[in-house]
Amino acid sequence: MKPVVTLIIACLFLLTGCQSLSDSSPESAAGNENRSSKAEAADRNTVLLSAQHCLSEYLQEQGRVHHGPCLKIITVNGDTPQVRQDGFIALPVATSMTLGISCVYRHADGSPIPVTMETADFSISAQTFTKPGNRWYLHAHKQARQVIGCEPTLSRSTKPTQATD
């Protein structure tokens, strides 16, 4: 009976070791980084806005992904933004500002179509960002397909605000 108990204890130690390894995995580390960056942003009374974001939509009837337009923030109140390592820009809460953005549409393979690039301004009011620490995304449009032009839409989600029928 003693070898069975020893085997069970050895298995428990092995499982405990595997669990602690999985807690230090890159996915877990990214989750911890997101939590710490959110706490840091909250401490600094800022929100985090994605510096660039591309829309895409899965077309079930065609069994493929449609690559929608991409948006990049090029200025904040006329100045080049400081982009963090995680791809976000820290912006103060309860502050009016103007974001200069560029939008570009993409080919079916996801590569940009340079001749479609256009710029626009997007105004943020003092009431837009009221809760520090949140992550936000600025989309080039409300949906990923059947759209023309650069009509920025602010969202807490990485997905389009409207699905295309």
Note the pLDDT tens digit of each residue in 20-29.
333 443 334 4
Token output for 102? 């560029």
Residue 55: pLDDT over 90: no
Lowest mean pLDDT among 16-20, 64-68, 81-85: 16-20
Average pLDDT for 60-87: 92
Tokens encoding 84: 């963090």
Cα–Cα distance for residue pair 150/120, rounded to 1 Å? 7
> With pLDDT > 70 as the criterion, what percentage of the chain qualifies?
65
Q: Which one has a higher pLDDT value, 99 or 143?
A: 99
State residue 80's pLDDT score. Answer: 97
Q: What is the pTM of this model?
A: 0.69
Residue range 7-36: average pLDDT? Answer: 44
Helix (H, G, I), strand (E, B) or coil at 29: helix
The span from the CA of 101 to the CA of 118, in Å, is 8
Output the pLDDT for position 11. 42
Distance, CA of 154 to CA of 135 (rounded, Å):
11
Q: Mean pLDDT across the stretch 53-75?
A: 87
- In this predicted structure, which of 38-42, 48-52, 140-144 has the lowest mean pLDDT? 38-42
pLDDT in tens, 107-163: 889 899 899 899 999 999 999 999 999 999 998 876 656 566 788 889 888 865 555
Question: Identity (one letter) of the amino acid at 140?
Answer: A
Work out the pLDDT band at 47, boundaries 50, 70, 90. Answer: very high
Find out whether 76 and 91 touch, Cβ atoms under 8 Å.
yes
Q: Kindly report the CA angle at 93 between 125 and 42, in degrees rounded to 5?
A: 160
